[in-house]
Amino acid sequence: MASPHPTDTATATAAATATGSHPSRPDDQPARPLTRRPARRSTRPARPGDAHATALTHALVAAGRGYSVLPLTRAKLPAVRPPHHADPSPTPTPCRGECGRPGHGIHDATSDPLAVRRLFAAAPWATAYGIACGVPPHHLIGIDLDTKNGADGLTALHLLAAQHRFTLPPTVTVRTPSGGRHLYFSGPPAPPVPNSAGRLAPGIDIRGTGGYLVGPGSRTSRGEYHLTPGTPRLPAPAPAPLLSLLPPQSPPHPHPHALHHPSALPSPLPHPNPAPALLRFVRTSPDGQRNARLYWAACRAHESGLGQEMTTALTTAALHTGLTEREARATIASAARH
């Protein structure tokens, strides 16, 4: 059979188009309107390789600002495995990197970019990084303000600042996955500031010599760490009154006979009356933190020699928060035995 004339084919196609049908579709099937599917947003979590590269990039930026850094796991632990776990017998003095191999925790921390890359290459599973505290040039002191378990570290720090009459300067601030804050302050080269948890107040931990802070840009099992908007590039100097509140390193035990000499006894330092700030600290306790705040305030009152004098006032402040008198007195009595 002869093929249709080209002109006839074009005419048939035009007629089919005009009537709404398609030349390749039977006439009894209506044409489907062409609709564009909306773009599907990817909800998959970041791949480990992405988080590793991001952590390395941020760690190199921190190293460029003088911080000593080390790679961390999602659990916020040093990521490079110890090199001595297979040694036949442990050495009497733990190795702190003298062997020349990585895997010594905080002692691996460095600000050398090439060394940072080598550490991350040795731990491809690292998704976070730590910033070492207490080392030059910043001698970093980290104030870890918690909001977990009813704690309110930020409020507690402001109350301490009001009590001791100092202002917290703007400084590097990192937001944690739980909603807390890490405040970075530079400290003096000596004496070293030790690590502590909850000694200043409930919800306030101190990261000093031998400790580290999880750096911004890190991804952990709890979430990500971010710099707060407008944060300075470098840490501000720690206020002197704040430094005086930080617990010192435990001194070596002196010879028993040395304690009989007057010069061996510490001279008391003058402190402002803590009563008003302690009472405000108790009265503003949120639910879930009332007993903890009362206990801490009662301990500080006893340390200041005001324990008996403040018992009634602390009990009244605790009643204001909703505690019963029996609960309040039991907590204060526990602090007196501390």
pLDDT of residue 85: 62
Rounded Cα gap, residues 267 and 280, in angstroms:
29
Alpha carbons within 13 A on the beta-carbon side of 155? 16
In 3D, which of 222, 216, 213, 217 has the Cα closest to residue 177? 222
pLDDT of residue 90: 54
Rounded Cα gap, residues 143 and 277, in angstroms:
20
pLDDT of residue 92: 55
C-alpha 48: how far from its chain's center? Answer: 21
Query: pLDDT, tens digit, for every residue of 202-229?
Result: 889 999 998 999 999 999 999 999 999 9
pLDDT of residue 239: 94
Query: pLDDT, tens digit, for every residue of 233-278?
Result: 999 999 999 999 987 655 444 444 433 333 333 333 344 567 788 8
Q: Which residues of the chain fall short of a pLDDT of 70?
A: 1-49, 84-94, 149-150, 248-273, 303-305, 307, 337-338
pLDDT of residue 268: 38
pLDDT of residue 102: 86
Alpha carbons within 13 A on the beta-carbon side of 28? 0
Backbone angles phi, psi at 298, to 5 degrees: -65, -40
pLDDT of residue 22: 44
User: The tokens 């917290």 sit on which residue?
Assistant: 168
Q: Please, are residues 70 and 212 in contact by the beta-carbon 8 Å criterion?
A: yes
pLDDT of residue 93: 64
